[in-house]
Amino acid sequence: MEQKLAQLKTLLGEAADLYQIEALLGWDQQVNMPPGSAESRGQQMATLGALAHDKGTAPEIGKLLEELLPWAESLDHDGEEYRLVTVSAKDYDKATRVPSSFVAEASPVIAMAHQAWAKARAESDFSIFQPHLEKVLDLKKRYIAFFPPADHPYDTLLDDFEPGMKTADVKTIFDTLRPQQVELIKAIAAQPQVDDSFMHLDYDEQKQWEFGVKVATAFGYDWNRGRQDKSTHPFTTSFGMDDVRITTRVYKNQFATALFGTMHETGHALYEQGIGHAWARTPLAASTSLAVHESQSRMWENLVGRALPFWEHFYPELQATFPEQLGKVSLENFYKGINKVQPSLIRVEADEATYNLHIMLRLELEIALIEGSLAVKDLPEAWNAKFKDYLGLTPPNDAKGVLQDIHWSGGMVGYFSTYALGNLISAQLWEKFKTINPEIDAQMRQGDFSNLLSWLRIKIHQHGRKYEPQELVQRVTGSKIDPVPYVRYLKDKYSAIYGL
């Protein structure tokens, strides 16, 4: 069986190579590619996608898995061989349900949708994107039909990003979380607001970039195996654990965007760079789920990057970098300003207390689109109505409303709930880490994040997809995904800031 396992790894590795080359084209599409190349790039990605799909669903792989599964069942179920075979078998079953012709058909649709979204967002005109989104959703509904009926059609899409999670599970978690966050927001709104006017002054863009690089370096990002570029929407992508790239965007008068965006993407990249090399070129060489991935980015962005001990170390340097803007702003006022709670239009710039409401809104809209109870043409109106209901704001235009996120243009329907779930996991992990390393605040005051990164490497990163997300979270924290630690974290933090 060892020989068959080696054969399986070889075939899986060839498929992984093709998928990573396709991802490289996708990175270039968002970072470097001229706008007029969308159609030809879509054709290239369609060809590669079909080749990768064919390679990954080759009958030889199916035959090897059929022979290896009984053998794997006899092994330690916590062992590497068992996990590799069983995860590969699940992936193979899902992939073989989807014809390569469908994969080839979808790639150019997605490529054109991305370009249309970028244009629509720039012009704040949803009608440009509407026909492309209709095609994307049609593809998603056809994709769902390839699989056995689930409790809810959205379950099939959710499982691609959060294995094992059901739509009903997410709704239950959100139903518990929503009223507590709303109560907290109301309590904060009744207090005097903090001043964050210094965040909206003009900051030199190159200096913003350089400071973000310093922070990413301090966190532990390996620049020998990564790089940072600019893109319309920040993202992290990996072509293997030794080539993990991040992007950010920089605005002269929105200082927080680049700084915290870089922290966020660095958190994602640290996860990818920390996956065990034993999993290279196998299906396990990836994160266990999008929520666990998001727990890493949100932890480094918020629980570390917006914490007072972090800025006790970094603020003097930031003041020295921007003396005109921050020279007269005290550390206390700076800390309060970067943690200001106020309902806002843009999800990626939302504060911690209101962020999850953005996600709940998107989840409800996605479910309605998949169920067919909401037509794409009515999406902007529905978006604005829910935004008013959830956050008390009405977007002034499509760019700051329904067009602000890139995900639907990339076919990532079923994705959004993972952002909020990631917030919850980040707080669970943080609580657990602090019981093991209560000196973390003192370490951050020294600019030392090595203990935190080492713990995450051991507990989360190295395992890749070895464990399903709920299993991994329970192994590390003692419970499955739970909103209680996150609510506790928010209440403790903002009670101190706002005097609740």
Give CA–CA dist 125/146, Å, rounded: 33
Catalytic residue among 22, 162, 265, 352: 265
Assess whether 265 carries a catalytic annotation.
yes
Give CA–CA dist 213/259, Å, rounded: 9
Q: Is 410 helix (H, G, I), strand (E, B) or coil?
A: helix
- The two beta strands, 244-248 and 236-238, are antiparallel
317-348 burial by CB neighbour count: b if 16+ within 10 A, else e? ebbebbeebbeebeeeebbbbbbbbbbbbebb
- The two beta strands, 236-238 and 226-230, are unpaired
Give CA–CA dist 417/481, Å, rounded: 13
Give CA–CA dist 421/169, Å, rounded: 11
Give CA–CA dist 358/402, Å, rounded: 11
379-403 burial by CB neighbour count: b if 16+ within 10 A, else e? bbebbbebbeebbeeebeebbbbbb
Burial class (CB in 10 A: 0-12, 13-18, 19+), 66: exposed
∠ CA(63), CA(44), CA(280), 5° rounding? 45
The token pair that represents 37 in the structure block: 């190349």
Active site residues: 265
